[in-house]
Structure 1
Amino acid sequence: MRGALALALAAALLTGCGDDGSGAYCESVKEHQRELSDIAASTDPGAIFGALDAYRDLQARAPRDLDDEWDQVIDRLEALESALDEAGVDPATYDPVTTLASLSPAQRSAVKGAARDLGDQATVASMAGIEQQALDVCKMPLSQ
C-alpha cells in the first residue's frame, strides 16, 4: 500500500513538473505580439479581422484551459466577418450609421446582431481571460 502511494505521489510530481504546453503558447504570444499591437493601434474598422490568423495560431497552441475562451472570441469575430461579407460590406469602410442604412433589413439585423455578440459580456470576459493568461503564464501581454 505504501509503495503504491509513493508511486502515485511520484507520478503526480513528475506530471506537475513536466511541460504543460505553455512554452509553445508563450512563443506564439511573443511571435504575434507586434502584429497584434499594430492591429490594436489601428484606426481601420476592419483591422480586427487581421487578427484572426494570429488568434487561430494562438488558439491551436493554447493550454486547454483557454479552449472555451478562444472559441468564444474567434467564433464571434468570424460571425461578424461572415455577416459583413454576406452583406457585401468591406470591413475597412464599415460605418455603423451609413453602412447599416444601406443594407436590407435582414442584412442589417445580421450585422447588428453579430456586432452586438462580439461586444457582449461573455466575449469581453473571454478576451480578458486570454489576456490575463498571457500575463500570468507568459509574463507578457498579447499586445502592447
Structure 2
Amino acid sequence: MATPKSKANIGMTLVILFAITLVTGIILHLKKHGIIIEPRSVIKIVHWIAGFLMVGLALVHSLQFKKMLSAMKAKFLWFWGDSWLVIIFTSLACLTGLVKLLSTIKIPNLGLWHYWFGMIMSVAVIIHLFRGISSWKRLRKIKSSNR
C-alpha cells in the first residue's frame, strides 16, 4: 500500500511533468503560427519523455485513488466527472501522440487532434488540480505528523 508521503510525491511530480509537457507542447504548436523555437528536436524529445512519464505516473496515481474516486461519485459528482475527463483526454492525447510518433506516414490533422486533446486535458487537469489541492494538503499534513 502506498504511503501518504509517496502519494503526495507522485502528485507533485505529476504537476511538474504536466507543466513541462504543456509548455513544450505549446512551443511545438507555435510552428503552425509561423513561430519556430529552436532546438526543435530537443523540445520534441523533452515533450515526449515528459509526456510519457506523466502518463505512466498518472496511471499509478489513478490506481492509487481508484477506490476513493468511486466512493466520491455520489457526493462529489463534479470532481468525479472532471477526473474522468482527465482520464479520457489524457488517453486520447497519449494515443494520438503515440500514433504521430510511430507513424511512418504523415496523417493529416493528427497533430491538431493531438493538440486539442492536450488542451482539453490541460483544462481538466488544472480543474482537477485545484479541486484536489485540499486533499494534497491533507496528505502533506499526514506526512508531517508521521515523522
- TM-score range with shorter-chain normalisation? 0.5 to 0.7
Deviation digits for residues 76-98 of structure 1 (CA, Å, limit 9, x no counterpart): 21121111112235xxxxxxxxx
What does residue 93 of structure 2 align with?
80
Asked whether the equivalents of residues 73 and 123 of structure 1 are also in contact (C-alpha less than 8 Å), the reply is: yes
Asked whether the equivalents of residues 72 and 126 of structure 1 are also in contact (C-alpha less than 8 Å), the reply is: no
3-state SS of 2:109 partner: helix
Tell me, in whole angstroms, the C-alpha distance in 1 between the residues paired with 2:58 and 2:12.
14
What does residue 140 of structure 1 align with?
140
Q: Compared with structure 1, are the counterparts of its residues 28 and 105 closer, same or farther at alpha carbon in structure 2 (3 Å cutoff)? A: farther
TM-score (norm 2): 0.52
Asked whether the equivalents of residues 93 and 118 of structure 2 are also in contact (C-alpha less than 8 Å), the reply is: yes
Tell me, in whole angstroms, the C-alpha distance in 2 between the residues paired with 1:29 and 1:75.
26
Asked whether the equivalents of residues 28 and 61 of structure 1 are also in contact (C-alpha less than 8 Å), the reply is: no
TM-score (norm 1): 0.53
After the TM superposition, which residues 1-144 of structure 1 pair with which residues of structure 2 at under 5 Å, given as runs? 29-41=4-16, 44-45=46-47, 46=51, 47-62=53-68, 63-64=71-72, 65=76, 66-88=79-101, 103-120=106-123, 122-135=124-137, 138-140=138-140
Q: Compared with structure 1, are the counterparts of its residues 128 and 28 closer, same or farther at alpha carbon in structure 2 (3 Å cutoff)? A: farther
Gaps of 5+ in 2: 21-45, 142-147
Gaps of 5+ in 1: 1-23, 90-101
Deviation digits for residues 42-90 of structure 1 (CA, Å, limit 9, x no counterpart): 564323222222221233132502422321222221121111112235x
What does residue 17 of structure 1 align with?
none
Structure label with greater radius of gyration: 1
3-state SS of 2:92 partner: helix
Name the one with the larger helix percent. Answer: 2
3-state SS of 1:105 partner: coil
